[in-house]
Every structure is written in C-alpha cells, then in structure tokens.
Amino acid sequence: MEYKLIIDKEKEESLILTVNERNELVEKIEELVGMKADIIHAYKDNEIFRISSGEADCFFTDNNKIYAYVGKDKYSIKLRLYQLEEILNDDFMKINRGCLVNVKKIRKFEMSFGGTISVVLTNGFSDYISRRELKNVKRRMGL
C-alpha cells in the first residue's frame, strides 16, 4: 500500500482512496474523513449555506426534491434521502418514506381518530408516522 501526505495550506483538503474492494478498513476510513458528516450544504435563494446536522429539525421530500427545515427556514438539499440517512448521526429517525426527523426537536405526538400518529416538531412542522416505521419509532422513543 502506498501512502502520501501533502501539507499545503493553499489547497482544500481532499482524500483519494483507491481500493480493490470495500471492506471494514475502507468503511472506517470513510467514517473518519467525514462520511458521517456534521456539515451539510443547503441552498436557499441562490445562496449556499453550511448547516450542522444538529441544527436541522427535519429532512423531507416535496415534489421529488429534498428539503431541510432549520427553525422556520426551509432549505433545498442536493443529497437524496437515503444518502442523508447514511451520513446523519443517531439523532435522526425515519418516520415515513419521505421524512427524517431530529429526535431532539420533537415536541409531541398527535393521534387522530383515523388511527394515524403525527410527529410535531418544535418549529411547528408536522408529518405522519407510517405503519411501516411505527414500530421503530415506538422502540426508539421508549413508547
């Protein structure tokens, strides 16, 4: 294996890894260099923002696009929901096919007469919990 370290304060940090196959070592390297990133690039009004995943209330789909709520602000995200699910920390939980919520930002659960349960976040955003994810949500929240 060849290893080369170049320290150049003028260039942006990057890492190129050439491997024969994906293995545990590659996965550990990915985690160390930021695949479990805390910073996500978000877009709003032709501007790019760097938001911390802990700041985000939720990530959701709307018209086949991914958005994030940070407080009352809505940002567009270029990543797919499954990619976000892989890189976000354990503070996020999938509640349906199109929504990941920050567990720390959940204000309450609302039950309807029809039997559905909705999650209401501190910013007022509300979305339903699908039957498929209900068991995982209950287990995760200790219900």
Output the pTM of the full model: 0.71
Q: DSSP code of 104?
A: G
Can you give the pLDDT at residue 34? 59
The dihedral over CA atoms of 63, 67, 72, 73, expressed in degrees to the nearest 10, equals -110
Mean pLDDT of 24-38: 68
- Under the banding of pLDDT at 50, 70 and 90, the label for residue 118 is very high
Give residue-wise pLDDT tens across range 8-28: 888 877 778 888 887 888 777
Phi-psi region for residue 64, left (φ > 0), alpha (ψ -120 to 50) or beta?
left
Mean pLDDT of 98-123: 92
**What are the extents of the domains in the chain?**
37-141
- Cβ atoms of 40 and 68 closer than 8 Å: yes
Question: Which residue would you say has higher pLDDT here, 126 or 38?
Answer: 126
Mean pLDDT of 45-51: 89
Pick from 79, 35, 40, 45: nearest CA to 56 = 40
Q: Over the chain, what is the mean pLDDT?
A: 87
| CATH number, domain 37-141 | 2.40.50.1020
Query: 108 pLDDT exceeds 90?
Result: yes
What's the N-to-C CA distance of the chain in angstroms?
Answer: 50
